[in-house]
Amino acid sequence: MKDIYQPSLGSPHSGVVITGGASGLGLACAHALAAVGRPVALWDLNVESALTHAKHIAATYGVVALGLGVDVRKPEAITAAASATRAALPSVGGLVHCAGVVDQGSLEGITIENWNAGMDVHLRAIVLLLQAFMDDLRRQPGSAVVAMASINATLGNAVNPIYSAAKGGVLSLVRSLADRLAREGIRINSVSPGFIVTPMTQPALSALPGVFEKRILLERIGQPQEVGRVVRFLLSDEASYITAAEIIVDGGNVSSQRI
């Protein structure tokens, strides 16, 4: 009886692939997971940064940490990176999809190219990642997946329609995949951050100081580790009965009517 209440944040002990792992929320997830002993693979467009951070994480936490240059919009790049990851990590029992970009051009700025690129990076990559790692996840007890959505999936704004549509798609894709993956004993959830300080949000936060905080119930912008710790929980046995869920980590933004 006592055993079932022991903390299990670092369990299972299998490795985790983190896309967008060289910056912001992906990097925070990598630190949070490595801090409880889980091997990590940081996949990112920015190969230099992925290598540097992987080296730092390995030295800091004493875990296997791999840095790889990968464009997750490209199916063949995902296949090659999956092989390299399999060779370097003891196992893969977790995926975190954080790679992303945000459009700024509103309706007028949408082109066929940037529409497809937005859907490919935020949405299609989830499917390709799962197809690449399905056998690995199936083999590891307690495997779990987290896809980064956003409060933009729920709150409308004129600025970034591609991003918002893709993030809305993440929520419904996760619910559909959760049914399929549950049959294999694999959980999948989405995390919707609100405003968190990262290189992605820094320009908007600097341009409009104090503006976004006004409607947030906790009256501050979030820190990357506040998302990393939630992702770590969802990938752990502590979250063994959570699948198909959207966990909102926004300090009380979506729920706010504060004026």
Ligand X SMILES: NC(=O)c1ccc[n+]([C@@H]2O[C@H](COP(=O)([O-])OP(=O)(O)OC[C@H]3O[C@@H](n4cnc5c(N)ncnc54)[C@H](O)[C@@H]3O)[C@@H](O)[C@H]2O)c1
19 binds ligand X (CB under 6 A): yes
Residues 50, 12, 37, 248, CA torsion sign: positive
In angstroms, the first-to-last Cα distance of the chain is 48
Q: Which of 31, 142, 177, 195 binds ligand X (CB under 6 A)?
A: 195
For residue 163, indicate whether it is catalytic: yes
Kindly state the smallest distance separating residue 11's Cβ from ligand X, in Å: 25
- In the region spanning residues 47 to 76, those forming contacts with ligand X, defined by CB under 6 A, are 70-73
> Candidates 29-37, 79-87, 94-102, 209-217 — which segment interacts with ligand X by CB under 6 A?
94-102
> Candidates 6-14, 39-47, 86-94, 240-248 — which segment interacts with ligand X by CB under 6 A?
39-47
Peptide bond into 161 cis (omega under 30): no
Burial class from Cβ neighbours inside 10 Å (0-12, 13-18, 19+) for residue 66 reads: buried
CA distances from 29 to 5, 32, 57, 180, 186 (A): 24, 5, 11, 25, 19
Kindly state the smallest distance separating residue 205's Cβ from ligand X, in Å: 9
248 binds ligand X (CB under 6 A): no
Tell which residue, 202, 93, 215, has the closest CA to residue 144: 93
Binding site for ligand X (CB under 6 A): 19-20, 22-26, 44-46, 70-73, 98-101, 121, 148, 150, 193, 195-196, 198-201
